[in-house]
């Protein structure tokens, strides 16, 4: 039986094709979100073929419903925020260098092992191109243009380019010239280094903590007067930073011990909310960690003159650290008020001051809270004052309003200016408060 005129065998599929296109027309639009699989790996070591690193800590997290239009920096930030806490939990005692983390798509090609590309500007009239059965493309210079050949080998082909502008290649002299070490010095180094004499106690004295840092901020006086919640130092959770701090608790490396607190060397590294300046702005920053202590005297009483250093209860320690932080908080406010007054007077005067005005500031400090099983540790880290004890100067004593330094001595002008700030603070606060016992560098 012959088919009707005008129809072809393809018309027999009309019914199935109509159903297929009807389903597609009612299908939902394509998804506008993507999913991520985030792994933590480290470079080096054995890796699988085609792998991008060695996974550690079984850190593999998934993220769904991510906007498909997100840019690369946004994806990198999501990946970092996802693995930060996982990596910290994997090894809290290790000093992670978060600024050295690299975010990389697993589909990216490793270009470091590929041959470099080379291009040369050359006239088409200066060479002919031949192609043989071995599929080697070779650019041959014409006889009238003597050119030097250089070769570049790739995985699939071999090519040589010619250029009259390329300078002649010279063999570079080796920058590292081998010198045989002195035999006696090498023997002495082997004798000294071959004996493992680890000071185990020095390792135990290093106390590593995961901390929450609350900065003792400096705010303008106008903001303090307008907002009552800023009129004393408090812990604002929106302003905290997290990180790690290592404290050397050994008595041999003790920086100092006063009448009611000790100062130990420490190193602070923040992971999130890193400031541009001040405390925590650089990784592994050297700090001075201060802690209050209680004097425990012998049974003979204080008259014996000897005592042991004891720790306060957590509630008492927290109260004392808060009081000291609040004192530094208001000292910053009073000094800022003094400079605001000085700047106003200088701006209102027609002539500049006949002397240089010292620009000083108090140390950057904060309070850290560390939570361990069954206990909480409170410390007060401060930026390390450079120069050491030799550069430390006491400008004004706490029982005298006159400069402690004699006229003509070095830094006397600074001491005189600090005495002036006491008068301004006393006058502006109506005799309620002023800063005394100025000391520093």
pLDDT bucket at 339, cuts 50 / 70 / 90: very high
Model confidence at 370: pLDDT above 70: yes
pLDDT, position 288: 92
- Window from 262-266, 388-392, 426-430 with minimum mean pLDDT: 388-392
pLDDT bucket at 169, cuts 50 / 70 / 90: low
β-pair partners for 206: 248
Distance CA(372)–CA(367), nearest Å, equals 16
pLDDT, position 301: 65
- Window from 51-55, 185-189, 372-376, 429-433 with minimum mean pLDDT: 51-55
Distance CA(403)–CA(419), nearest Å, equals 7
pLDDT, position 34: 79
Model confidence at 281: pLDDT above 70: yes
pLDDT, position 27: 60
pLDDT (average), residues 23-31:
62
Model confidence at 165: pLDDT above 60: no
pLDDT, position 403: 87
Longest CA–CA separation in the chain, Å: 128
pLDDT bucket at 150, cuts 50 / 70 / 90: very low
More reliable by pLDDT, 45 or 97: 97
Q: Is the whole-model pTM more than 0.75?
A: no
Each residue of 56-87: pLDDT tens digit? 667 778 788 787 778 778 888 888 888 777 78
> Could you give the 3-state DSSP secondary structure of residue 431?
coil
Model confidence at 123: pLDDT above 50: no
pLDDT bucket at 52, cuts 50 / 70 / 90: low
Model confidence at 289: pLDDT above 90: yes
Q: Whole-angstrom distance between the N-terminal and C-terminal Cα of the chain?
A: 111
More reliable by pLDDT, 348 or 125: 348
Distance CA(341)–CA(253), nearest Å, equals 42
Task: Please spell the DSSP secondary structure of 331-398, one letter per residue.
Answer: HHHHHHHHHHHHHHHHHHSSS--SSPPP---PPPBEEEEEEETTEEEEEEEEEPPTT-GGG-EE-B-T
pLDDT, position 174: 54
pLDDT, position 235: 85
pLDDT (average), residues 190-219:
80
Average pLDDT along the chain = 76
- What percentage of the chain has pLDDT greater than the value 90? 17
pLDDT (average), residues 272-297:
88
pLDDT (average), residues 300-322:
78
Model confidence at 252: pLDDT above 60: yes
State the alpha helices, DSSP H only, in 147-193: 183-193
pLDDT (average), residues 336-347:
92
More reliable by pLDDT, 212 or 153: 212
Each residue of 380-414: pLDDT tens digit? 999 988 777 677 888 888 888 888 888 888 888 99
pLDDT, position 266: 93
pLDDT, position 1: 47
Model confidence at 24: pLDDT above 80: no
pLDDT (average), residues 250-277:
87
Domain ranges of the chain: 33-100, 128-162, 205-384, 387-441
pLDDT, position 128: 43
Place of tokens 């320690």: 317
Distance CA(68)–CA(71), nearest Å, equals 9
Structural fold of domain 205-384? Phosphorylase Kinase; domain 1 (3.30.200)
Distance CA(323)–CA(326), nearest Å, equals 5
> Could you give the 3-state DSSP secondary structure of residue 171?
coil
């Amino acid at each position: 039986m012959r088919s009707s005129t005008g129809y072809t065998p393809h018309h027999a599929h009309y019914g199935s094709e109509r159903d297929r296109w009807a389903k597609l027309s009612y299908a939902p639009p394509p998804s506008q979100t993507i999913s991520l699989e985030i792994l933590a790996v480290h470079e080096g070591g054995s890796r699988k073929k085609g792998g991008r690193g060695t996974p550690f800590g079984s850190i593999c997290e998934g993220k769904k419903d991510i906007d498909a239009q997100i840019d690369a920096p946004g994806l990198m930030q999501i990946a970092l925020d996802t693995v930060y806490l996982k990596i910290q939990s994997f090894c809290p005692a290790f000093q992670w260098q978060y600024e050295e983390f690299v975010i990389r798509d697993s589909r990216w090609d490793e270009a470091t092992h590929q041959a470099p590309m080379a291009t040369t500007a050359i006239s088409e009239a200066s060479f002919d191109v031949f192609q043989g059965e071995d599929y080697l493309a070779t650019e041959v210079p014409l006889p009238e243009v003597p050119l030097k050949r250089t070769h570049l080998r790739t995985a699939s082909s071999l090519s040589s380019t010619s250029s009259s502008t390329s300078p002649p290649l010279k063999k570079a002299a080796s920058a590292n010239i081998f010198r045989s070490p002195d035999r006696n010095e090498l023997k002495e180094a082997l004798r000294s280094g071959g004996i493992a004499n680890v000071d185990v106690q020095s390792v135990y004295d290093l106390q590593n903590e995961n901390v929450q840092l609350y900065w003792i901020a400096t705010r303008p006086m106008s903001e303090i007067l307008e907002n009552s919640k800023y009129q004393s130092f408090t812990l604002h959770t929106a302003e905290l930073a997290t990180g790690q701090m290592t404290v050397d608790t050994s008595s041999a490396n003790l920086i100092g011990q006063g009448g009611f607190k000790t100062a130990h060397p420490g190193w602070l590294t923040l992971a999130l909310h890193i400031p541009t300046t001040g405390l925590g702005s650089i990784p592994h920053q050297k700090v001075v960690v201060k802690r209050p202590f209680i004097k425990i005297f012998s049974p003979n009483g204080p008259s014996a003159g000897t005592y042991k250093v004891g720790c306060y209860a957590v509630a008492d320690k927290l109260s004392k650290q808060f009081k000291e932080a609040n004192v530094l908080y208001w000292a910053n406010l009073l000094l800022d008020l003094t400079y605001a007054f000085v700047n106003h007077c200088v701006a209102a005067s027609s002539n500049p001051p006949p002397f240089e005005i010292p620009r000083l500031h108090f140390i950057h400090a904060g309070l850290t809270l560390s939570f361990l099983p069954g206990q909480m540790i409170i410390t007060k880290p401060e930026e390390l004052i450079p120069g050491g004890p030799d550069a430390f100067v006491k400008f004004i004593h706490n029982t005298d309003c006159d400069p402690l330094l004699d006229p003509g001595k070095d830094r006397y002008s600074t001491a005189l200016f600090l005495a002036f700030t006491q008068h301004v603070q006393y006058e502006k606060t109506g005799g309620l408060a002023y800063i005394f016992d100025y000391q520093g560098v």
